[in-house]
């Protein structure tokens, strides 16, 4: 049977289904040829937000019921000032998983925000010197990107990553009631753990000014932390050689005094030739660290045990 997928980025039936359906004809998004007129009609409506319950785009906070109705998702709050490399990190993580890199205890089992991830991925070409980075995250936006992960026992865990603009964290750091810090407040209230981005390039260039800004955000993170984990992510670590060693040490000491369990990881999105520790390993190690500790913290198995037969994503069993 010929036809096509209603998701414009999916080239099925020429390639395997995005959602992992073995038989693409049974995929809810596949439209047989005799329905092509319908596709044309729908194309005219592409700019409108779809009425379907699932569009594949990044979630907004009021859309997370699409996964929270089946399990309690884990939310990882990505925090840091503008330009710290937060969105690029997300793009890189998705790209690494697409390229077959693995998390320690989980395998990638699908995503409900595939168009959102694909948009990030398409803007990130893995070649040093010609990386068109993601467009700056708009101030008002609070996007949430989803992964379903499967552990060794075949249980699913839904994980969401927040991606808000850095400006809202800078506003929130100086005044947590700032009217332009709504996304930061929401992320702070709802996350299970945080990644605090420390921009090595900014530290190298702006020295104490940059350190002060980072510490402002870090201190605000402590005000109602309730034992949630914060890991320090030294982003753009390809520039760490340019950061004054004394400044790096001082910042480390201050952060480890602030957060009782201090974890840190150095990451980069710039590939050196050959296997690159900062890019290939550490971006995923950061996520391993978070997932391991969130499980220990909550002491609750957040995984989904029951497999519902009419949910294509849940039924997907990996490659």
Ligand X SMILES: Nc1nc2c(ncn2[C@@H]2O[C@H](COP(=O)(O)OP(=O)(O)O)[C@@H](O)[C@H]2O)c(=O)[nH]1
DSSP letter at 73 equals: -
Q: Which is nearer to ligand X, 89 or 259 (CB)?
A: 89
Shortest gap between Cβ of 121 and ligand X (angstroms)? 13
Site string for ligand X, 81-120 (x = CB under 6 A): -xxxxxxx--------------------------------
Strands, sheet with 106-110, edge to edge from the N-terminal-most edge strand: 106-110, 142-151, 156-164, 74-79, 193-199, 229-235, 263-266
From 213, 314, 199, 211, select the one nearest 268 (Cα to Cα).
199
DSSP H/E element including 145: strand 142-151
* Site for ligand X contains 170 (CB under 6 A): no
* Residue 82: contacted member of ligand X, Mg ion, none (CB under 5 to 8 Å, by partner type): ligand X
CB of 19 to ligand X, least distance (A): 27
Q: What are phi and psi of 164, to 5 degrees?
A: -110, 165
Interacting partner of 116 out of ligand X, Mg ion, none (Cβ under 5 to 8 A depending on kind): none
Kindly identify the residues of this chain, within the stretch 174-233, that bind ligand X according to CB under 6 A: 201
| Residues whose CB is less than 8 angstroms from the CB of residue 283 and which lie 6 or more positions away in sequence, other chains included | 89, 92, 93, 96, 267, 269
Residue 88 binds what, of ligand X, Mg ion, none (CB under 5 to 8 Å, by partner type)? ligand X
Question: Could you say which of ligand X, Mg ion, none residue 260 binds, taking C-beta under 5 to 8 angstroms by partner kind?
Answer: none
Stretch that binds ligand X, among 178-186, 214-222, 264-272, 296-304 (CB under 6 A): 264-272
Nearest to 303 by CA among 70, 93, 66: 70
Taking the C-alpha atoms of residue 57 and residue 47, their distance in angstroms, rounded to an integer, is 13
In the chain, count of helices (H) and strands (E)?
A: 10, 9
- Which residues form the interface with Mg ion (CB under 5 A)? 86-87, 137
Interface positions with ligand X (CB under 6 A): 80, 82-88, 133-134, 136-137, 166, 201, 236, 238-239, 268-270
């Amino acid at each position: 049977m010929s036809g096509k997928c209603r998701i414009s980025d999916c080239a099925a039936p020429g390639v395997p289904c995005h959602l992992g359906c073995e038989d693409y004809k049974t995929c809810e998004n596949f439209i047989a040829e005799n329905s092509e007129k319908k596709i044309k009609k729908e194309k005219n409506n592409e700019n409108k937000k779809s009425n379907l319950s699932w569009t594949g785009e990044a979630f907004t906070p009021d859309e997370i019921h699409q996964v929270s109705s089946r399990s309690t998702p884990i939310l990882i709050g990505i925090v840091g000032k503008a330009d710290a490399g937060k969105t690029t990190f997300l793009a890189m993580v998705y790209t690494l998983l697409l390229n077959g890199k693995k998390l320690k205890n989980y395998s990638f089992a699908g995503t409900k925000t595939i168009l959102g991830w694909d948009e990030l991925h398409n803007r990130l070409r893995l070649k040093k010197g010609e990386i068109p980075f993601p467009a700056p995250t708009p101030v008002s936006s609070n996007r949430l990107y989803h992964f379903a992960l499967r552990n060794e026992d075949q249980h699913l865990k839904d994980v969401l990553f927040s991606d808000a603009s850095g400006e809202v964290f800078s506003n929130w750091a100086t005044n947590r009631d700032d009217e332009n810090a709504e996304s930061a407040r929401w992320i702070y209230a709802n996350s299970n753990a945080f990644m605090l981005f420390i921009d090595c390039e900014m530290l190298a260039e702006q020295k104490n000014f940059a350190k002060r800004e980072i510490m402002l955000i870090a201190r605000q993170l402590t005000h109602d932390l309730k034992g949630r984990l914060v890991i320090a992510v030294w982003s753009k670590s390809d520039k760490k050689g340019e950061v004054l060693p004394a400044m790096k040490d001082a910042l480390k000491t201050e952060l480890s005094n602030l957060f009782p369990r201090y974890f840190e990881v150095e990451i980069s999105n710039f590939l050196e030739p050959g296997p690159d520790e900062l890019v290939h390993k550490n971006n995923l190690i950061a996520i391993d660290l978070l997932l391991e500790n969130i499980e220990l913290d909550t002491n609750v198995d957040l995984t989904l045990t029951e497999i519902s037969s009419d949910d294509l994503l849940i039924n997907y069993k990996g490659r």
